[in-house]
Amino acid sequence: MKLRAQLGYAGAVLTMVAALLAPFVLYGSIAKGVASLGLHVDEVYSSGPKIRSIQQGAYAIDVHRTVSPHMLQREKPFVQLDWTPVSALPSHVTDEVDVDGDGKPDVLVSFNVSSDPNAQLRVDVEPLSPRFEAVKNAGKERYSRLIVRVDDSILVRIPLAH
Say if residue 50's pLDDT is above 80: yes
**Residue 29: strand, helix, or coil:** helix
Say if residue 133's pLDDT is above 80: yes
**Residue 70: strand, helix, or coil:** coil
Say if residue 14's pLDDT is above 80: yes
Distance separating alpha carbons of residues 131 and 162, to the nearest angstrom = 8
Mean pLDDT is lowest, of 22-36, 51-65, 77-91, for 22-36
Say if residue 1's pLDDT is above 70: no
Nearest in space to 51 (alpha carbons), one of 37, 39, 65, 40: 65
Count the alpha carbons within 13 Å of 27 in the hemisphere toward its beta carbon: 5
Q: Which helix (H) or strand (E) holds 63?
A: strand 59-64
Distance separating alpha carbons of residues 81 and 86, to the nearest angstrom = 13
Distance separating alpha carbons of residues 48 and 41, to the nearest angstrom = 10
The pLDDT value given to residue 101: 92
Say if residue 94's pLDDT is above 90: yes
Q: Which of 15-29, 34-48, 89-103 has the highest mean predicted lDDT (pLDDT)?
A: 89-103
Mean pLDDT is lowest, of 10-19, 39-48, 78-87, for 39-48
